[in-house]
Structure 1
């Protein structure tokens, strides 16, 4: 369902910003627990969105390093 994915991604983006600001990675699990009490489906979509967004950040960091290393 598109709505669940949209909501999960929006929440994942916000919590990852908060993690960046605070350095507290436990916030991800705190939000997961709250979501899970109401919707297991949303909880799973949220965790997937968190993993995808983290992977995207790592990939973009690597691409930036590769560009710099190759003078691009």
Structure 2
């Protein structure tokens, strides 16, 4: 015996489908925002250290102490 789907079923189905899509969009946006924040923090921390170039002076360093 086949059963027919009632209008009440379709109403609940549509409500749950829309709710699931909304929750998915909100969670995706939250996780993406968190991932972007973590990547930005990581790139700021891992900048390569560049030593300052030696400064030139006009006088010569003495060889004898």
TM-score (norm 2): 0.50
TM-score (norm 1): 0.45
**Considering only CA atoms, is the larger Rg found in Structure 1 or Structure 2?**
2
